[in-house]
Structure 1
Amino acid sequence: MSILILSACSPQPPITVYITPFPLSATEAPAQQPTALATRPVYQPGTLVAYTARTGDNLPALAHHFNTTVKEILENNPQLSEKTTTLTPGENLQIPIYYEALWGNSFQIIPDSLYINGPAQIGFDTKSFVNAHPGWLKNYASLAGGEVRRGADLIDYVSLEYSISPRLLLALAEYQAGALSVETLEPQEKVYPLGYEDEFHQGFYLQLLWAANTLNNGYYSWRSGKLDTITRLDGSIEHPDPWQNAATVALQNYFSQVLPVADYHKAIYSEGLYNIYTALFGDPWQYTSDHIPGDLQQPPLRLPFVPGKTWSYTGGPHSAWGEGAPLAALDFAPPSVVGGCAASNEFVTAMADGQIVRSEKGLAMLDLDGDGDEHTGWVILYLHLGLNDKIRPGMLVKTGDLIGHPSCEGGSATGTHVHIARKYNGEWIEADSVVPFNLEGWIAKNGVVPYQGSLSNYGRIITASDKGLANSYITAGNP
């Protein structure tokens, strides 16, 4: 058997960053403000500090945040196990801290559970909310995903694809562009309403795509411990406060790239986005929930193709949607005698029992918890499914059932393949993390750059390659 593979994918085009400042919306609203944490002292190296675990926390990330090691955290917290995946929310820890200069603001804008498009967003009617306000957004329309969508539908579309709260996107659009309160934008404001000046991102929809992508880069990079430094427009830097939560760091990272320094500091404190969010939706800290439980475990998952078939592992951990973090997706391509986007008779299969809760061009979402809601529990994204024989929404499937053919449909792809990723309660779960992507015992590991990486299974190693190399072959159902 010969396998020739030419495959890579990206749900959105590559993003090139050119940034200019943009004035804030004049909209202001009164709000009850939480008390900000006091300025951090200069800690002596190794000083033990109190920390209360939050939803989604994990030891490797906390070690990076506090400039310490997992070993030191475990030594000072004997109740913890090195096998623990995510920490139990509310658990009190003592963490040795090593001071790092230039810590950022300790004010927390919104909780993580209100950042992601998870259980807290069930039942929110974006269209009714937008239509109840006089702003320009309700009359705005743009081509998105192959069809013309109006303002509220655009918010829902981006929210669903990137898995970011529609409420947060609305608050951001109001804060920066008066989307809910200003009836008409000036012509120059319509081009770059969120302040990201790039000729390939003109108009609100493309600005929103960039914003969502940038927000997720910050959120998941902090969640995994990879984000250490935020660089502001004037070239000055700060390190996020070690106690900070992922949602706030995501917003700090975002605003640092579009606002002058003075406006940046306003945006990330109580009189900024928090104020607008509270005016629109109420105090976010009254609606917190623990959407990621302690010791989260992935359910058993099969490789996404027919047992006995050999495919190629063409893409190691890379972005689930967009560019950059979260590196939650893996790619597999079927055997072919020609490269590129050739039609394939091979089938993609259900990786577990569940229900298809969404099926769109090139895409299917498999819900594993039985409630039929993409916002909750474990959900598997399949991308680049061809139209022929593609499964319909609402259908119940068993592990191994056929759900469609790999293709290049949906997003950007250079070769026929399937792109898979996991979400839990709306949060993307990175492939190489404390809850690793595990397919029949094959465990994903990051490479030096996205799309590189490996799958390992008791000493056997498969290396990602889009060239059809023999060491990228993997057989489903092969113990």
Structure 2
Amino acid sequence: MQSDFFKVAIHNTGLFFIIVIILHFAPIFRNNKFFPVDLIKKFFFRSTMIKGCLFIFLCFLSSGCLPEKRTSQVQPLDLIHPIASLTSAALTEHPWTATAEWKPSVTPQPTQIQLTPLPTHPQFKRERIPTLRAEDASHVVAEGDTITIIAANYQVSKNAIIEKNQIKNPDLIAVGQELVIPAQIPDFQDPGNEILPEKGILFGPSANDFNISAFLAEHPQSYLTNYIEPEPTPNPEAKKSEQQPSFKARNGAEILYQTAIQNSIDPRILIALMEFQTHSISEKKPNGNQKKSVIAHLGSYYEPLARQLAWAADTLNEGYYNWKDKKTNLWILNDDTLVAVNPKVNASTAALQYLFSKIFGAEDWLYAISKNGFSLTYQQLFGKTSDEFLSDPEFETSPKLDFPFAAGEIWSFTSGPHVGWTDGTPWSAIDFAPPDAVGCNMSQYWITASAPGIIVYSQNGLVIEDLDGDGNMGTGWILVYLHVESRDRIEINTQVDRGARIGHPSCEGGIANGSHVHLARRYNGEWIPINQDYPMILSGWEVFSTGSHYDGYLEKDGTLIEAWYFKTEASEISY
């Protein structure tokens, strides 16, 4: 840089002296009419200031003092050829070289967030069922509030709020508007009849042994036995590339089993509901009590069998886990009748009471929960219910778990604790995205087993691993891996060691915006929430919820990694 400066200085100085010499010998050319020296001397040497300006001008004119015009070293982007060719070229120059032994060049240092104190598990479970509110309450409408949401939070009927506040249009409430919430005054109390044992709705030990196909063979004329899933109507506005290339129809048994496995609900409960509601097991078609639906008429969208069973399973789960967390003190029936819950009923009985409250008014609800209602239908189909011994999990028995990806790889912690399957299940799952995830692309990375066990289910994007090795997903600890791509997915009945390959992360098996793996736990058929009683610890990192759905942290030795919805350095994790 210094040598260039001196070259410029010498160049400019030399040029200046040449001009001075020419002007010095100007008298020689005085008689030359073509060289008006006097005029030049008058103009250029009139004052000292002009001489200085001349020197500066000559310096810039020679370009030695001006910044040198730079030539860009960046190659222009080729916008003529397709983007695919650009991607291909990039991959050729920088090919993907990850293998099973791949290690990052530098182990990531998780972003440390200073929180005082370190995170604690929020308490979702109450110590006791809340007492009924005997007086009116006040609520200020916040952004996102609806009458339905407000009514659910205060456990009162929507119509009670509408009438109390003389709301003409319940769809038009304003942020900041103050509403009077009526007191919880029940019309009567639940009589407390036990419908099922404590954990009777769950996919427990005997549910695993129940053979759906054998049962339906005994009912050859039933609607469920002969049901074939109809092909969905194509969306005329959708592009061809957005439509599914093929449709494989499922029969009734396949839909029932898949729903039971996914939600961890005993299939016999769903069968009994179909028979009790519409005789769909003993007859060739639903009897019309719920129009074209087999369990509950919820509109044309919910008429297909798969949606009916999914709604019933999710509603049962919601009633079951809300009761276990002591969040419910009142049933609001379909006709706005308020029923005070009986604190002595068990969780499975409460789950069925909750489901029937969504369908029936007072008279029909009381019949459904009576000994001559659903309970009798179940016994006629499957015999008297047995109170299976199903203990609650103990943390000491929880197996040691690792992250569901290979050691040394850098994945992203994209979701903190959230629902295990659908909204009715507790916050029992977390998500991780692979390094090469871009939308729902085909990832080259592998989901790996977090613990040794045996694969007891592997289809429809879902892999279930039984950790006690008995092959019964209704007993002991199991791990749920969701969004596992069909390509290279592990087969059922495969014994796996810790770190064994399960399959590739994807969007298969449920709603997803990008390829990832969803990891959750069950014990004796029950979804296990991530909380203080049953913490989830992966490779020494403990999972914490912030109390907001999908938000949470990983914590180890005071270092925190926060979950981000998208991939970012702040959410990267390795072990």
The TM-score range, normalised by the shorter chain, is: 0.7 to 0.9
Tell me the alpha carbon deviations over residues 193-244 of structure 1, each in whole angstroms, 9 at most, x when there is no partner.
3223233212232111111111111112222334444322222333432222
Cα separation, 1, equivalents of 2:208 and 2:500 = 29
Cα separation, 1, equivalents of 2:504 and 2:409 = 14
User: TM-score w.r.t. structure 2 length?
Assistant: 0.62
**Residue pair 1:291, 1:425 contacting (<8 A) in 2 also:** yes
Cα separation, 1, equivalents of 2:490 and 2:300 = 38
**Residue pair 1:443, 1:456 contacting (<8 A) in 2 also:** yes
Q: Which has the higher helix share?
A: 2
**Residue pair 2:337, 2:361 contacting (<8 A) in 1 also:** no
**Residue pair 1:354, 1:368 contacting (<8 A) in 2 also:** yes
Q: How far apart are residue 61 of structure 1 and its match? A: 4.4
Q: Which has the higher strand share?
A: 1
Cα separation, 2, equivalents of 1:294 and 1:340 = 37
Partner of 1:330: 430
Change (3 A) 1:237 1:445: farther
Cα separation, 1, equivalents of 2:300 and 2:358 = 17
Partner of 1:317: 417
Give the aligned residue type for 1:173.
M
Cα separation, 2, equivalents of 1:343 and 1:152 = 31
**Residue pair 2:453, 2:469 contacting (<8 A) in 1 also:** yes
Aligned residue runs from structure 1 range 362-441, under 5 A: 362-432=461-531, 434-441=533-540
SS at match of 1:423: strand
> Of the candidates 211, 219, 230, which is equivalent to residue 125 of structure 1?
211
**Residue pair 2:316, 2:424 contacting (<8 A) in 1 also:** no
Q: Pairwise CA RMSD of aligned residues?
A: 2.7
**Residue pair 1:114, 1:120 contacting (<8 A) in 2 also:** no
> Of the candidates 188, 200, 212, which is equivalent to residue 114 of structure 1?
200
Give the aligned residue type for 1:129.
F
Q: Compare relative contact order (CA 8 Å, sep 6+) and give the higher one, 1 or 2.
A: 1
Aligned residue runs from structure 1 range 139-218, under 5 A: 139-142=226-229, 147-185=248-286, 189=290, 191-218=292-319
Q: How far apart are residue 400 of structure 1 and its match? A: 1.3
Q: What stretches of structure 1 of length at least 5 have no aligned partner?
A: 2-58, 68-99
Partner of 1:248: 349
Tell me the alpha carbon deviations over residues 355-398 of structure 1, each in whole angstroms, 9 at most, x when there is no partner.
12221132211111111222222111111112333222222211
Q: How far apart are residue 257 of structure 1 and its match? A: 0.6
Partner of 2:388: 289
Cα separation, 1, equivalents of 2:340 and 2:381 = 30
Aligned residue runs from structure 1 range 58-73, under 5 A: 61=125, 63-65=127-129
Tell me the alpha carbon deviations over residues 15-68 of structure 1, each in whole angstroms, 9 at most, x when there is no partner.
xxxxxxxxxxxxxxxxxxxxxxxxxxxxxxxxxxxxxxxxxxxx984713376x
**Residue pair 2:312, 2:355 contacting (<8 A) in 1 also:** yes
Cα separation, 1, equivalents of 2:349 and 2:569 = 44
Change (3 A) 1:323 1:62: closer
**Identity rate of aligned residues, in percent?**
36
**Residue pair 2:334, 2:357 contacting (<8 A) in 1 also:** yes
> Of the candidates 365, 375, 378, which is equivalent to residue 277 of structure 1?
378
Give the aligned residue type for 1:160.
I
- The range that moved more, 190-199 or 275-284, is 190-199
Q: How far apart are residue 112 of structure 1 and its match? A: 3.0
Cα separation, 1, equivalents of 2:340 and 2:547 = 24
Partner of 2:565: 466
Q: How far apart are residue 170 of structure 1 and its match? A: 1.0
Cα separation, 1, equivalents of 2:356 and 2:281 = 20
> Of the candidates 332, 340, 351, which is equivalent to residue 439 of structure 2?
340
Partner of 1:298: 398
Cα separation, 1, equivalents of 2:486 and 2:211 = 30
Change (3 A) 1:175 1:61: same
Cα separation, 2, equivalents of 1:183 and 1:375 = 31
Q: How far apart are residue 189 of structure 1 and its match? A: 4.9
Give the aligned residue type for 1:353.
P
Higher CA-based Rg: 2
Q: How far apart are residue 343 of structure 1 and its match? A: 2.3
Cα separation, 1, equivalents of 2:324 and 2:201 = 13
Partner of 1:78: none
> Of the candidates 207, 213, 222, which is equivalent to residue 135 of structure 1?
222
Cα separation, 2, equivalents of 1:333 and 1:62 = 34
Give the aligned residue type for 1:236.
T
Q: How far apart are residue 116 of structure 1 and its match? A: 0.9
SS at match of 2:465: strand
Q: How far apart are residue 248 of structure 1 and its match? A: 1.0
Change (3 A) 1:172 1:310: same
**Residue pair 1:175, 1:273 contacting (<8 A) in 2 also:** yes
Give the aligned residue type for 1:398.
D
Q: What stretches of structure 2 of length at least 5 have no aligned partner?
A: 1-103, 105-122, 132-183, 232-245
> Of the candidates 443, 454, 470, which is equivalent to residue 542 of structure 2?
443
- The range that moved more, 171-180 or 230-239, is 230-239
Cα separation, 2, equivalents of 1:227 and 1:182 = 36
Give the aligned residue type for 2:197.
P
Change (3 A) 1:278 1:433: farther
Partner of 1:13: none
Q: How far apart are residue 123 of structure 1 and its match? A: 2.5
